[in-house]
Structure 1
Amino acid sequence: MLTSERKALILKTVRRDGRLVAKEFSRQLGLSEDTIRRDLREMAGEGLLQRVHGGALPASPATAEYGVRQTIETDAKARLGAAAARLVRPGQVVFLDGGTTNVQLARQLPPDLEATVVTHSPSVAVELARHPRIEVELIGGRLFKHSVVAMGAACIETLGRIRADLFVMGATGVHAQAGASTGQAEEAALKRFIVRQSAETIVLATRDKLGAASPFGIVPLAEISSIIVERDLPDLLLAPLRKAGPEIVVA
């Protein structure tokens, strides 16, 4: 079997089964495990999959630059944002993570809602500047341009003094075993810190993020209260996530 044929089969297996175990796959093909692991390393370097101990998971495609992501799945993001907006209660302190889906959430908060939104996303803050009753606490720091959010020591220091009722967290991967993940280590650490500062965490996830993984883990799914997903998704995709702990809310 040619290398290109083998890699195509690896990619097909990962996408179909949601995972690949190197030892089992090498046995099926009658090849050495080292050969399969080399293929996995090369494919991970190309962003085609995410390597994990013993094999691979689907790589999340939700890693494009912010400007590109603004044009992708806009209808689905609007529905997810509307569903999340209905979960925000009067008087709550809500931390809104960065990301294009959370901008949709901010856009759809009811005009009569009185609440406090804490965010390190200038995009979210600008969206809420037009809201008549929501107080906005904008957290500063070094701008991480990929996600257009503030990061760094100043950001962490300020967040350490805030306790939120609800954290609406962004993630590029949501996988039953790998948990919620993202593509940058410092960003993952910041999100994990905010989870610890919040009474409840929810994630809004378009279909491309479900069953996929990114390089840096944030938290296991057991630490997430709810995942808001699109309608008409197969139970085969949702059942492992539900079993991992969170409530699955269909937008």
Structure 2
Amino acid sequence: MLAAERRDHLLGLLAREGKVVAKSVAAELGISEDSVRRDLRDLAAEGLCQRVYGGALPASPAVVDYAARQAVAPDGKEKVAAVAAGLVRPQSALILDGGTTALAVARALPQDLDCTVITHSPTIAAALLDHPRAELYLLGGRLFKHSAVTCGAAAVEAAQNVSADLCLIGVTGVHAEAGLTTGDAEEAAMKRALAARAAETYILASSEKIGTASRFRVLPWSKVTGVITDADPRHPVVAQVAGLGVEILPAG
């Protein structure tokens, strides 16, 4: 089989089965596992898969830059945001992550809601300036322009000095085995720091993120209260996550 044919075969497996197991593909095609791994490295270099131990998973489309992400699944993000905004109770404290789905949450909050919002995103803070009863706390640090959020040691330290009732976190990948992932190590660390300061943590996951993975793990499933998603409840990954005891809040 030619290299181009192997590539198409691997991409087909990712689309149909949601993963590639290098050992199984090697046996199926009668080639070495090293050949499969080389092909997966090439696909990963093009952003077409995320390599994991033993094979690969579909790469998340949510790792492109901030401006481009605003055009990815806007309807799904708005559905997720509407459900997430409904979790914010009057006079409660909310930690709101950055990113395009979190921005949709900020815009979905009632304008007269009396609450406290803690965020490390200048974009989120700016979106809530016209909410007269919302008290805003902006956590400072190095600005990570890809997601328009602060991160690094200063931001993590600032996060350790706040507490909230609810934390809403965005990720780029949601997978039962690979877990909750994102594309930058410092951003992942900041998300962990934020989640650790809230009584409950829900994940904002529009359907294009379900079944995909990025390089850095954000949180183990044991630290998550639930996932808000517009994905079909019958999606195998959604069912697997529910089987782990994680609450699924449908946003269909």
Identity %: 49
| 1:31 and 2:36 matched | no
| 1:150 and 2:150 matched | yes
Letter of the aligned partner of 2:32 in structure 1? Answer: S
Deviations 1:53-81 (A, max 9, x none): 11111111111111111223222211111
Letter of the aligned partner of 1:55 in structure 2? Answer: G
Q: TM-score, normalised by structure 1?
A: 0.95
CA distance in 1, matches of 2:248, 2:12: 27
* 2:49 aligned residue: 49
CA distance in 2, matches of 1:37, 1:70: 33
* 2:181 aligned residue: 181
Letter of the aligned partner of 1:151 in structure 2? Answer: C
Task: Provide runs of 4+ in structure 1 moved above 4 Å.
Answer: none
Letter of the aligned partner of 2:37 in structure 1? Answer: R
Q: Judge conservation of contact 1:95–1:117 (CA < 8 Å) in 2.
A: yes
* 2:82 aligned residue: 82
**Counterparts in 2 of 1:207-218, with a 5 A limit?**
207-218=207-218
CA-CA distance at 1:250 after TM superposition: 1.0
Letter of the aligned partner of 1:35 in structure 2? Answer: S
CA distance in 2, matches of 1:78, 1:226: 18
Change (3 A) 1:169 1:218: same
Larger mean Cα displacement after TM superposition, 118-127 or 196-205: 196-205
CA-CA distance at 1:146 after TM superposition: 0.4
Change (3 A) 1:28 1:231: closer
Letter of the aligned partner of 2:108 in structure 1? Answer: Q
CA distance in 2, matches of 1:112, 1:61: 35
* 1:224 aligned residue: 224
CA distance in 1, matches of 2:89, 2:143: 30
Q: Judge conservation of contact 1:142–1:150 (CA < 8 Å) in 2.
A: yes
Change (3 A) 1:11 1:231: closer
Letter of the aligned partner of 2:99 in structure 1? Answer: G
CA distance in 1, matches of 2:54, 2:100: 34
Secondary structure at the aligned position of 1:165 is classed as strand
Deviations 1:193-230 (A, max 9, x none): 22222221111111110010001111122321111111
CA distance in 2, matches of 1:38, 1:75: 37
CA-CA distance at 1:233 after TM superposition: 5.3
CA distance in 2, matches of 1:106, 1:173: 21
For structure 1, list consecutive stretches of 5 or more residues without a partner in the other structure: none
Change (3 A) 1:232 1:217: closer
Q: TM-score, normalised by structure 2?
A: 0.95
CA distance in 2, matches of 1:249, 1:52: 28
Letter of the aligned partner of 2:86 in structure 1? Answer: R
Secondary structure at the aligned position of 1:130 is classed as coil
